[in-house]
Amino acid sequence: IEIKSIPAFNDNYIWLIQNSDGHCAVVDPGDAKPILEYLKTHELILEAILITHHHNDHIGGVPDLVHAFPHISVIGPKTEPIPTLTNPVEEGDKLELFGETFLVLGLPGHTLGHIGYVGDGKLFCGDVLFSAGCGRVFEGTLEQMYESLSKIAALPEETEVFCAHEYTASNIAFALAVEPDNEQLHHYRDEVNR
């Protein structure tokens, strides 16, 4: 499978998971318009939507995608208020996607029912982990967020991480405010600025 990013809003990533015969799935489609344009331009058929949590910038495009593809599977957290779900899932559940098995991880903290999907050496983690930072704790507790980050840290080191926002520069700026003498952060900031 191949992964493409479709930018949305100011800093969201909608991830498109594509197989070799023109079928695809999307993760956290907050906006349908860029997805529908991408599908038309690349002549792709949307088969599934994977949702990590209920915030509108992750689910806002789902109704229009369901309208365009009425038989689509909408997979997401069982315990979150998402009216369009056809396949509610929770930690430990598995799903097949284009010949790959993805495991559902419970990743509460940002929201209480936040989940992630890991398979084929890839993790779709929504708003739990970002480059140089983690998500804000809105509904859960700091302890839950720490446990969620610990689950991610326990994955194989070569796991590719696909987060849902581009926050790298601002996360580095915050980290440098906390650790102004951290040389690795200075090098990373310079790399990101380049």
Structure tokens at 62: 């789902």
Catalytic residue among 31, 53, 181, 190: 53
Active site residue 21: no
The single residue of 28, 31, 54, 127 carrying the catalytic annotation is 127
The C-alpha angle with vertex 15 and arms to 96 and 2, in degrees rounded to 5, equals: 65
Mean pLDDT of 165-182: 96
Q: Phi/psi class of residue 98: alpha, beta or left (left: φ > 0; alpha: ψ in -120 to 50)?
A: left
Q: How far is CA 183 from CA 78, 86, 133, 176, in A?
A: 43, 48, 17, 10
Three-state secondary structure call for residue 163: strand
Residues 2-30 have pLDDT tens digits of 999 999 999 999 999 999 899 999 999 99
For residue 135, CA distances in Å to 69, 102, 176 come to 31, 22, 17
The answer to whether 57 is a known catalytic residue is: yes
pLDDT at 147: 98
Which of 31, 54, 57, 114 does the annotation list as catalytic? Answer: 57
Average pLDDT, the chain: 96
Q: Which residue among the candidates 28, 31, 54, 110 is catalytic per the annotation?
A: 110
* 71 among known catalytic residues: no
Quote the pLDDT of residue 82.
93
- Residue 5's pLDDT is 96
pLDDT in tens, 145-156: 999 999 999 999
Instruction: Name residue, tokens 């998402």.
Output: 82
pTM: 0.95
Predicted confidence at residue 83, as pLDDT, reads 86
Respond yes or no: is residue 110 known to be catalytic.
Answer: yes
Span 86-115, average pLDDT: 97
Residue 55 is a catalytic residue: yes
Handedness of CA 105, 192, 54, 99 (dihedral sign): negative
Catalytic residue among 31, 55, 67, 181: 55
Q: How many CB atoms lie within 10 A of CB 124?
A: 25
Whole-angstrom distance, CA of residue 107 vs CA of residue 92 = 11
Active site residue 181: no
Strand ordering across the sheet containing 23-27: 2-8, 12-18, 23-27, 45-50, 73-77, 87-89
pLDDT, residue 131, reads 95
* pLDDT, position 92: 98
Average pLDDT over every residue of 90-98: 96
42 is catalytic: no
The catalytic position among 28, 31, 54, 165 is 165
CB 61 within 8 A of CB 31: yes
